[in-house]
Each structure stands twice: as structure tokens, then as C-alpha cells.
Amino acid sequence: MGGWWVKWAAINDALYWRVLRANPELMRRVIRLASENVNSGGGGPFAALIVKDGAVVAEGVNTVFASNDPTAHAEVNAIRKACAALGGFALRGCEIYTSSEPCPMCLAAIYWAHLDTIYFGNGCEDAARAGFDDAYIFRQLSLERAKRAIPSEQLLRDEALESFRLWEASPFKREY
């Protein structure tokens, strides 16, 4: 879907209408980057751009194999570069263009970075057909902890709460 459309958004409990404008040329650029990444042997078929006020702030490609880092997805790499370029951890006012619908990890990173909008090329179904099936992880996240494939157990909660108490009183505390 391209062109103009309107989105209803809730930001800090204030509801407002926001007009979105997708830029097909930026999507073409991110698609080219993803293809170049495959052809160069650099990594998987994924790329992302962070855009602010119509200008590209950062780009990233998947470097999982090159870096031996399972978190080195295109979106995460682009977010890290954009935060460094803009000098902050919040990317409000920015959009992300990504060659594929974000996986659960990247989607969480996008939310933590406070990006305004996501534009993507391939959908999750397309990624699954290419061997990147995120549906399993999405399903796991919806389960209760005890029912997930990777066991998790809360341990020493009372002791662990100390760091949160310190954070709440810290003069270095900053809002995410």
C-alpha cells in the first residue's frame, strides 16, 4: 500500500489523526540493499532505512552470519546507527523502511526506539516461504511462560528488585 493514508494513533494517552506518506523510492532503495546483501554474501535478504523528515539517517543490512551475532538483523543495525547519528536512544519523528515485515525481536526494538511508522516490503508469509518463519516465535510469545519451548523460571525476585528500587531513586534515571 503506498501513497497517502490516515492513521489513528494513541501517543501518551492523546489520540490524534496522523497523515502518513510512504515513499516508494525509499522502499526501492531498501529492496536493492537487501538484494545486494545476498549477492555479496554479506548476510540474509534483509535491509532497513531510518528516515527523518524525508532524509535517510541510517541504513542497515542483516549481518548475522558475518558477525556471528543472532541479533544483527537489518532493523536493529539501522536503529543502532540512527541512535548514534542522532545522539539519543529515542527515534521519535523517524520512520523505518524495511525489506520485510519485522520479526518479533525487531518489532520490539522498533517499539523501544519509539519509531513513528513501519513501512515493509515482504510480509511474514513471504519470509516464511523463504525459510524465515517468525510465526513460531510469535506463537511462543503468546504462551504462558510455563508452556513455552524454552523453559524460564523466576529466581531471587526479592533480591533482584533492589536494582529497580535504586533506579526509581536514582538521579541518573531517564524515561524511556
Catalytic site positions: 75
CB–CB of 46/34 below 8 Å? yes
Residue 92 falls in which region: left (phi positive, over 0), alpha (psi -120 to 50) or beta: beta
Phi, psi angles (nearest 5°) of residue 162: -55, -40
Of the candidates 97, 31, 37, 32, the one whose C-alpha atom is nearest the C-alpha of residue 62 is: 37
